[in-house]
Protein backbone atom coordinates (compact mmCIF):
# COMPACT_ATOMS: atom_id res chain seq x y z
CA UNK A 1 0.00 0.00 0.00
CA UNK A 2 1.43 3.41 -0.92
CA UNK A 3 2.84 5.26 2.04
CA UNK A 4 0.43 7.63 3.71
CA UNK A 5 -2.62 6.20 1.96
CA UNK A 6 -5.29 4.26 3.83
CA UNK A 7 -7.03 1.18 2.46
CA UNK A 8 -10.28 3.15 2.19
CA UNK A 9 -8.49 5.85 0.21
CA UNK A 10 -6.99 3.22 -2.09
CA UNK A 11 -10.35 1.64 -2.80
CA UNK A 12 -11.93 5.03 -3.46
CA UNK A 13 -9.12 5.99 -5.87
CA UNK A 14 -9.45 2.71 -7.75
CA UNK A 15 -13.24 2.94 -7.87
CA UNK A 16 -13.17 6.43 -9.41
CA UNK A 17 -10.47 5.24 -11.87
CA UNK A 18 -7.70 7.59 -10.77
CA UNK A 19 -4.82 7.19 -13.25
CA UNK A 20 -2.19 8.56 -10.86
CA UNK A 21 -3.25 5.95 -8.31
CA UNK A 22 -2.57 3.10 -10.73
CA UNK A 23 0.87 4.56 -11.49
CA UNK A 24 1.72 4.57 -7.78
CA UNK A 25 0.52 1.00 -7.33
CA UNK A 26 2.87 -0.17 -10.09
CA UNK A 27 5.87 0.91 -8.02
CA UNK A 28 4.68 -0.52 -4.68
CA UNK A 29 5.31 -4.28 -4.20
CA UNK A 30 3.39 -4.19 -0.90
CA UNK A 31 0.19 -3.57 -2.86
CA UNK A 32 0.33 -7.07 -4.35
CA UNK A 33 -1.53 -8.60 -1.39
CA UNK A 34 -4.17 -5.90 -1.65
CA UNK A 35 -4.62 -6.75 -5.33
CA UNK A 36 -5.07 -10.43 -4.46
CA UNK A 37 -7.67 -9.57 -1.84
CA UNK A 38 -9.58 -7.26 -4.17
CA UNK A 39 -9.69 -9.81 -6.98
CA UNK A 40 -10.79 -12.62 -4.66
CA UNK A 41 -13.49 -10.43 -3.13
CA UNK A 42 -14.73 -9.27 -6.53
CA UNK A 43 -14.75 -12.84 -7.83
CA UNK A 44 -16.68 -14.08 -4.82
CA UNK A 45 -19.30 -11.43 -5.53
CA UNK A 46 -20.20 -13.30 -8.72
CA UNK A 47 -21.41 -16.18 -6.60
CA UNK A 48 -23.65 -14.00 -4.45
CA UNK A 49 -27.37 -14.74 -4.71
CA UNK A 50 -30.40 -12.86 -3.32
CA UNK A 51 -30.89 -13.68 0.34
CA UNK A 52 -27.63 -15.62 0.38
CA UNK A 53 -29.63 -18.69 -0.68
CA UNK A 54 -26.73 -20.62 -2.24
CA UNK A 55 -24.50 -20.40 0.83
CA UNK A 56 -20.72 -20.07 0.98
CA UNK A 57 -19.65 -22.63 -1.62
CA UNK A 58 -20.33 -20.42 -4.70
CA UNK A 59 -18.47 -17.57 -3.02
CA UNK A 60 -15.36 -19.69 -2.53
CA UNK A 61 -15.41 -21.25 -5.99
CA UNK A 62 -16.04 -17.92 -7.72
CA UNK A 63 -13.34 -16.29 -5.63
CA UNK A 64 -10.80 -18.89 -6.77
CA UNK A 65 -12.04 -18.59 -10.34
CA UNK A 66 -11.63 -14.81 -10.12
CA UNK A 67 -7.98 -15.18 -9.14
CA UNK A 68 -7.31 -17.56 -12.03
CA UNK A 69 -9.07 -15.27 -14.51
CA UNK A 70 -7.06 -12.31 -13.18
CA UNK A 71 -3.76 -14.10 -13.78
CA UNK A 72 -4.88 -15.23 -17.23
CA UNK A 73 -6.02 -11.73 -18.24
CA UNK A 74 -2.86 -10.11 -16.89
CA UNK A 75 -0.73 -12.58 -18.85
CA UNK A 76 -2.78 -11.93 -21.97
CA UNK A 77 -2.54 -8.14 -21.67
CA UNK A 78 1.19 -8.38 -20.98
CA UNK A 79 1.79 -10.57 -24.01
CA UNK A 80 -0.20 -8.25 -26.27
CA UNK A 81 1.65 -5.19 -24.94
CA UNK A 82 5.03 -6.93 -25.08
CA UNK A 83 4.82 -8.80 -28.38
CA UNK A 84 2.55 -6.58 -30.47
CA UNK A 85 3.27 -3.11 -29.08
CA UNK A 86 6.86 -3.50 -27.89
CA UNK A 87 6.46 -2.55 -24.22
CA UNK A 88 9.06 -3.82 -21.75
CA UNK A 89 7.24 -3.42 -18.41
CA UNK A 90 7.37 -6.38 -16.04
CA UNK A 91 4.57 -8.93 -15.80
CA UNK A 92 4.43 -8.78 -11.98
CA UNK A 93 3.96 -5.01 -11.89
CA UNK A 94 1.27 -5.12 -14.58
CA UNK A 95 -0.55 -7.97 -12.83
CA UNK A 96 -0.58 -6.05 -9.55
CA UNK A 97 -2.01 -2.92 -11.16
CA UNK A 98 -4.68 -4.79 -13.09
CA UNK A 99 -5.85 -6.40 -9.86
CA UNK A 100 -6.97 -3.03 -8.56
CA UNK A 101 -9.10 -2.45 -11.65
CA UNK A 102 -11.49 -5.10 -10.24
CA UNK A 103 -12.59 -2.81 -7.39
CA UNK A 104 -15.93 -1.89 -9.09
CA UNK A 105 -16.85 -5.59 -9.23
CA UNK A 106 -16.92 -5.75 -5.43
CA UNK A 107 -20.31 -4.12 -5.91
CA UNK A 108 -21.56 -7.54 -7.05
CA UNK A 109 -21.94 -8.39 -3.37
CA UNK A 110 -25.06 -6.22 -3.52
CA UNK A 111 -26.62 -9.10 -5.48
CA UNK A 112 -27.54 -10.45 -2.04
CA UNK A 113 -30.27 -7.81 -2.13
CA UNK A 114 -33.08 -8.89 -4.42
CA UNK A 115 -33.36 -5.49 -6.12
CA UNK A 116 -29.76 -5.59 -7.32
CA UNK A 117 -29.61 -9.35 -7.86
CA UNK A 118 -32.37 -9.15 -10.47
CA UNK A 119 -30.99 -6.06 -12.23
CA UNK A 120 -29.07 -6.90 -15.39
CA UNK A 121 -28.31 -3.21 -15.92
CA UNK A 122 -26.59 -3.05 -12.52
CA UNK A 123 -24.32 -6.02 -13.35
CA UNK A 124 -23.50 -4.72 -16.83
CA UNK A 125 -22.72 -1.29 -15.41
CA UNK A 126 -20.23 -2.68 -12.92
CA UNK A 127 -18.49 -4.72 -15.61
CA UNK A 128 -18.25 -1.70 -17.91
CA UNK A 129 -16.75 0.28 -15.06
CA UNK A 130 -14.27 -2.53 -14.43
CA UNK A 131 -13.29 -2.55 -18.11
CA UNK A 132 -12.71 1.20 -17.95
CA UNK A 133 -10.55 0.54 -14.90
CA UNK A 134 -8.65 -2.12 -16.84
CA UNK A 135 -7.89 0.39 -19.60
CA UNK A 136 -6.72 3.06 -17.17
CA UNK A 137 -4.73 0.54 -15.13
CA UNK A 138 -2.98 -0.59 -18.31
CA UNK A 139 -2.35 3.03 -19.21
CA UNK A 140 -0.81 3.71 -15.81
CA UNK A 141 1.28 0.54 -15.74
CA UNK A 142 2.66 1.03 -19.25
CA UNK A 143 2.89 4.84 -19.04
CA UNK A 144 1.20 5.09 -22.41
CA UNK A 145 -1.64 7.00 -24.04
CA UNK A 146 -5.29 6.27 -23.36
CA UNK A 147 -5.90 5.33 -26.99
CA UNK A 148 -3.03 2.85 -27.05
CA UNK A 149 -4.03 1.25 -23.74
CA UNK A 150 -7.58 0.93 -25.09
CA UNK A 151 -6.18 -0.81 -28.16
CA UNK A 152 -4.11 -3.22 -26.05
CA UNK A 153 -7.12 -4.13 -23.89
CA UNK A 154 -9.39 -4.47 -26.94
CA UNK A 155 -6.95 -6.86 -28.64
CA UNK A 156 -6.52 -8.87 -25.42
CA UNK A 157 -10.30 -9.05 -24.93
CA UNK A 158 -10.80 -10.17 -28.54
CA UNK A 159 -8.24 -12.95 -28.11
CA UNK A 160 -9.91 -14.05 -24.86
CA UNK A 161 -13.34 -14.18 -26.54
CA UNK A 162 -11.89 -16.14 -29.46
CA UNK A 163 -10.24 -18.65 -27.13
CA UNK A 164 -13.48 -19.09 -25.19
CA UNK A 165 -15.39 -19.57 -28.45
CA UNK A 166 -12.96 -22.24 -29.66
CA UNK A 167 -13.04 -23.94 -26.26
CA UNK A 168 -16.83 -23.86 -26.32
CA UNK A 169 -16.92 -25.46 -29.76
CA UNK A 170 -14.51 -28.15 -28.61
CA UNK A 171 -16.51 -28.96 -25.47
CA UNK A 172 -20.04 -28.64 -26.82
CA UNK A 173 -19.25 -30.15 -30.20
CA UNK A 174 -17.76 -33.39 -28.91
CA UNK A 175 -20.03 -36.50 -28.76
CA UNK A 176 -19.07 -37.13 -25.15
CA UNK A 177 -20.24 -33.70 -24.06
CA UNK A 178 -23.54 -34.14 -25.86
CA UNK A 179 -24.17 -37.43 -24.09
CA UNK A 180 -23.28 -35.89 -20.73
CA UNK A 181 -25.76 -33.12 -21.45
CA UNK A 182 -28.47 -35.74 -21.95
CA UNK A 183 -28.58 -35.31 -25.73
CA UNK A 184 -27.91 -38.63 -27.54
CA UNK A 185 -25.69 -38.14 -30.57
CA UNK A 186 -28.18 -40.03 -32.76
CA UNK A 187 -30.98 -37.59 -31.98
CA UNK A 188 -28.78 -34.62 -32.72
CA UNK A 189 -27.72 -36.14 -36.03
CA UNK A 190 -31.35 -36.72 -36.91
CA UNK A 191 -32.15 -33.06 -36.36
CA UNK A 192 -29.50 -32.13 -38.93
CA UNK A 193 -30.99 -34.18 -41.78
CA UNK A 194 -32.57 -31.08 -43.27
CA UNK A 195 -29.15 -29.57 -44.06
CA UNK A 196 -28.16 -29.41 -47.77
CA UNK A 197 -26.29 -32.50 -48.84
CA UNK A 198 -27.77 -34.64 -46.06
CA UNK A 199 -29.77 -37.63 -47.27
Q: What is the pLDDT of residues 139-153, one digit of tens each?
A: 888 888 889 999 999
Which of 166, 143, 163, 54 minimizes the C-alpha distance to 94? Answer: 143
**Which residues, in sequence order, are CB contacts of 63 under 8 Å at separation 6+?**
40, 41, 43, 44, 47
pLDDT at 17: 54
Query: Is the model's pLDDT at 11 over the cut of 70?
Result: no
Query: Is the model's pLDDT at 93 over the cut of 50?
Result: yes
Q: How far apart are CA 44 and CA 61, in angstroms?
A: 7
DSSP-derived 3-state class of residue 117: helix
Query: Is the model's pLDDT at 172 over the cut of 50?
Result: yes
Query: Is the model's pLDDT at 185 over the cut of 70?
Result: no
Query: Is the model's pLDDT at 19 over the cut of 70?
Result: no
pLDDT at 144: 87
pLDDT category of residue 121 using cuts at 50, 70 and 90: confident
pTM for this one? 0.69
Mean pLDDT value across the chain: 78
pLDDT category of residue 51 using cuts at 50, 70 and 90: low
Query: Is the model's pLDDT at 1 over the cut of 60?
Result: no
pLDDT at 18: 62
Query: Is the model's pLDDT at 5 over the cut of 80?
Result: no
pLDDT at 64: 94
Query: Is the model's pLDDT at 61 over the cut of 60?
Result: yes
Q: How far apart are CA 41 and CA 107, in angstroms?
A: 10
Q: How far apart are CA 60 and CA 71, in angstroms?
A: 17
- Domain spans of the chain, in order of start: 7-191
pLDDT at 162: 92
More confident residue, 44 or 198: 44
Amino acid sequence: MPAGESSASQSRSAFVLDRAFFERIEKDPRATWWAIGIVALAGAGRGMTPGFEAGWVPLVTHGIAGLLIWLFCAGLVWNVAHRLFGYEEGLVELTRVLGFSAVPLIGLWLNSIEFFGESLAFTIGLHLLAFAGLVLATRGALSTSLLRSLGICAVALSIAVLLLFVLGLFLVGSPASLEVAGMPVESVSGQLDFLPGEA
